Amino acid sequence: MKHNVQEDSNTKLSWYEIVSKYNHPSSLRGAWQIVNSVGPFLIVWYFMYQSLSVSYWLTILLSFIAAGFSVRIFIIFHDCGHGSFYKSRQWNKIVGSILGLFFFTPFWKWKISHDIHHQTVGNLDERGVGDVKTFTVKEYLKLPKSKRRFYKFYRHPLLMFPIGGLFIFLIQNRFSSKDRTVKEHLNVHLINLVMAAIIVGISLMIGFKAFILIELPILLIASAAGVSLFYIQHQFDDVQWERKESWDYKTMALKGSSYFKLPKILQWFTGNIGIHHIHHLSPKIPNYYLQKCLSENEEFHIKPITIKNSFKSLRLRLWDEDKNQIVSFKSLQSNEN
């Protein structure tokens, strides 16, 4: 974990010592989490197949449950990417690579991009990798009108969450950038081949149409939920972003990431990832210890975002460096004309 904290050594040691107490994965808890996530997902998937002969509305209803378990599986995959789900680096790689197949995601491609996100969150000079594209007000006003319209289109919730989520998992994840390592390129190609083999194998058993009718709504719901979670975790009223010279690790973890307080059932399905400020403070904390860390340490108690007030985040689109806050398009309508 990269540290660039502009604070005295005693304070740094204090918060680092606190989070270090929770940086110890439990093999038993990890195994049970896989059982109670992957097992129910496969069972619901099977019932979705059986429901096709009854009513597709029943299939759609079951897809919401399957999508919930899919999000939970993604959180385990996410922890493996941080090397926090198992003590063994090898087991994190193996399990992460296998679980990535559930949502068409190459382990190494995602890990590299997500690591960059953690190292640059809230840094206005290092935007663009593993985050939601966000212009500053000045950057936006310099764009030609056609590009402004495209940016508004891109940032619309109905496009960003369901369609954007599908694009990431089905298309974007099929390729790696030219500047990436040979290891990442090979991983992407290998995962593509393995997934193709799995899809062909399942389709031979139940039919390709049945596979699409089952898998597409799961992926659509799960990816929309995942992208919206990620959005709310980094685009909210009180978020803090800084230029590179003022950026520091602890501040950006606690003020550049939110605490999205969800109902207990949704917190379970999302693997506590709503406690995102602590996750950014220490990505080595397994998801099943995030709530414990929050509950036992008052210094990490920040103003939470609830489902009700999370909808306010949907109107936030641009960073205003003069006001030092994220703002809506409506706030600068007079400047656009």
Rg (CA), the chain: 21
β pairing state of 316-320 and 325-328: antiparallel
* Number of Cβ atoms within 10 Å of the Cβ of 188: 21
Q: Which pLDDT does position 9 carry in this prediction?
A: 44
Q: Which pLDDT does position 308 carry in this prediction?
A: 92
Give 44-79 pLDDT, tens digit per residue.
999 999 999 999 999 999 999 999 999 999 999 999
Q: Which pLDDT does position 334 carry in this prediction?
A: 54
Q: How confident is the model at residue 337 (pLDDT cuts 50, 70, 90)?
A: low
Q: How confident is the model at residue 7 (pLDDT cuts 50, 70, 90)?
A: very low
179 within domain boundaries: no
197 within domain boundaries: no
Residue 283 belongs to domain spanning:
9-174+209-336
Give 200-246 pLDDT, tens digit per residue.
999 999 999 999 999 999 999 999 999 999 999 999 999 999 999 99
162 within domain boundaries: yes
Question: Which regions of 101-252 does DSSP assign to beta strands (E)?
Answer: 135-136
Percentage of the chain beyond pLDDT 70 is: 95
**CA pair distance 44, 217, nearest whole angstrom:** 13
**CA pair distance 43, 335, nearest whole angstrom:** 54
4 within domain boundaries: no
Cβ atoms of 124 and 136 closer than 8 Å: yes
In angstroms, the first-to-last Cα distance of the chain is 45
31 within domain boundaries: yes
Q: Mean pLDDT over residues 187-205, rounded? A: 96
187 within domain boundaries: no
Give 91-119 pLDDT, tens digit per residue.
999 999 999 999 999 999 999 999 999 99
Q: Which residue has the higher pLDDT, 39 or 298?
A: 39
- When mean pLDDT is compared across 160-164, 249-253, 266-270, the lowest value belongs to 249-253
Quickly tell me which residue has 């680096």 as its tokens: 89
Quickly tell me which residue has 């996530």 as its tokens: 37
Q: Which pLDDT does position 142 carry in this prediction?
A: 95
Q: Mean pLDDT over residues 258-271, rounded? A: 97
DSSP, res 298: G
The β-bridge partners of 259 are 275
> Average pLDDT, whole number, for the chain?
92
Write down the H helix ranges in the chain: 9-20, 27-51, 56-82, 89-100, 107-120, 137-142, 145-154, 157-158, 164-166, 182-206, 208-234, 249-255, 264-269, 276-281, 290-296, 307-310, 333-336
Phi, psi of 278 (to 5 degrees): -75, -35
**CA pair distance 256, 37, nearest whole angstrom:** 30
Q: Which pLDDT does position 335 carry in this prediction?
A: 59
Q: Mean pLDDT over residues 278-306, rounded? A: 95
Q: What Cα–Cα distance (Å) separates residue 60 from each residue in 203, 207, 220, 228?
A: 19, 18, 11, 20
Cβ atoms of 282 and 255 closer than 8 Å: no
Q: Which pLDDT does position 32 carry in this prediction?
A: 97
* Number of Cβ atoms within 10 Å of the Cβ of 57: 9
What is the tally of helices (H) and strands (E) in the chain?
A: 17, 3
- Number of domains present in the structure of the chain: 1
Cβ atoms of 247 and 2 closer than 8 Å: no
**CA pair distance 42, 50, nearest whole angstrom:** 13
Structure token digits, residue 322: 């003069």
Residues contacting residue 271 through CB under 8 Å, at least 6 positions apart: 71, 72, 75, 76, 78, 79, 287, 288
3 within domain boundaries: no
Phi, psi of 210 (to 5 degrees): -65, -40
Maximum C-alpha span of the chain: 65
**CA pair distance 174, 269, nearest whole angstrom:** 26
**CA pair distance 335, 242, nearest whole angstrom:** 24
1 within domain boundaries: no
Phi, psi of 133 (to 5 degrees): -60, 125
